[in-house]
């Protein structure tokens, strides 16, 4: 059996060729099993939560703590996760729900991140790259489109290629999806609006729907064993007003301060990721 990192690397190789490959789904399920076996042998320690109405814990081995894990979203039973994923990949959405899909995807993503947290010191790159593979796989399968990560920019006198986040081209007369993927955003999030602005400028506003996918915004104080979330909703509003418009922001563990942006005017549409699978076909009909 491959190690967790071995499976992660195999997914990376396959995703470059064909991110819709069903073998990748199987590898994510296998990766989840491997991670859960590792996590079954370490302790869970409850955190003091400074986030209203949310409880968190960490996995802990002799040396280290994992990142904070949302107790309500984390599914203890591995089979329940796999059942939900099967409903998702068979497009049998009536037998599950947005909430169950969000929890299943959260559990799979955070389990791998926790394993890396416990094994490597300060490695942010592996969880970040993993989460890019993970999020883009479900979008690629759902949309039946292979994402690209560069677009042509016409500078009149010569063409250049601009590296981008994932772009899903849905074909003529339909929008393209600009899909930045982040485990957390913090102060770097302005880049997402700036990239959207470049796409709007190059191709015209409305051609690319910006959909940001995030894991969570928790920050853990490892000494006090306290968890809080870092949210900058007023800055998001300024970016949405003055840089460009994001069409959706999807979270696996959505902070309530960002969900509240649905209720301001003009709103920013922040949703749990599971809702994407229920709204996807309406989204691209007549936008």
Using CB under 8 A, list all residues that contact a copy of itself: 153, 155, 160, 162-163, 188, 190-191, 193-195, 197-198, 200-202, 234-235, 237-239, 241-243
User: In which residue are the tokens 């979008």 written?
Assistant: 139
If the CB atoms of residues 188 and 281 are measured against a copy of itself, the closer one turns out to be: 188
Distances (CA, A) of 24 to 55, 81, 170, 253, 283: 32, 16, 21, 23, 26
Nearer residue to a copy of itself within complex by CB, 2 or 264 = 264
Contact criterion met (CB below 8 Å) for 53 and 82 = no
Select 158 or 281, whichever has its Cβ closest to a copy of itself: 158
- Of 89 and 198, the one with the shorter C-beta distance to a copy of itself is 198
Please say whether the beta carbons of 238 and 160 come within 8 A.
Answer: no
Q: What is the smallest separation between the CB atom of 205 and a copy of itself, expressed in angstroms?
A: 11
Biggest CA-to-CA distance, the chain: 61
161 or 285: CB nearest a copy of itself: 161
- Give the C-alpha separation, 246 to 107, whole Å: 26
Q: Is the distance from CB of 247 to CB of 206 less than 8 angstroms?
A: no
What's the min distance (Å) between Cβ of 151 and a copy of itself? Answer: 10
Within 10 A of 84 (CB to CB), how many other CB atoms are there? 23
């Amino acid at each position: 059996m491959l190690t967790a990192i071995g499976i992660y690397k195999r997914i990376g190789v396959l995703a470059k060729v064909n991110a819709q490959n069903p073998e990748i789904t199987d590898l994510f399920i296998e990766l989840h099993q491997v991670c859960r076996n590792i996590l079954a042998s370490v302790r869970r320690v409850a955190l003091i939560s400074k986030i209203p109405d949310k409880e968190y814990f960490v996995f802990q081995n002799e040396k280290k703590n994992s990142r904070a894990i949302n107790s309500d979203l984390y599914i203890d039973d591995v089979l329940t996760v796999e059942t939900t994923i099967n409903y998702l990949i068979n497009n049998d959405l009536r037998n599950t729900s947005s909430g169950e899909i969000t929890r299943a995807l959260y559990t799979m993503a955070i389990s791998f991140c926790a394993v890396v947290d416990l094994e490597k010191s300060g490695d942010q790159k592996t969880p970040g790259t993993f989460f890019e593979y993970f999020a883009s796989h479900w979008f690629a399968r759902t949309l039946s489109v292979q994402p690209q990560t560069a677009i042509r920019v016409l500078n009149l006198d010569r063409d250049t290629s601009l590296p981008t986040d994932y772009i899903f081209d849905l074909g003529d007369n339909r929008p393209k999806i600009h899909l930045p993927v982040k485990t957390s955003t913090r102060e770097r999030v302005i880049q997402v609006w700036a990239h959207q602005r470049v796409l709007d400028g190059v191709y015209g506003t409305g051609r690319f729907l910006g959909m940001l996918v995030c894991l969570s915004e928790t920050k853990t104080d490892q000494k006090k064993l306290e968890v809080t979330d870092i949210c900058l909703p007023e800055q998001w509003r300024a970016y949405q007003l003055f840089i460009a418009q994001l069409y959706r922001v999807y979270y696996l563990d959505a902070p309530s301060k960002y969900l509240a942006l649905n209720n301001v005017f003009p709103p920013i549409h922040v949703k749990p990721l599971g809702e994407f699978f229920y709204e996807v076909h309406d989204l691209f009909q007549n936008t």
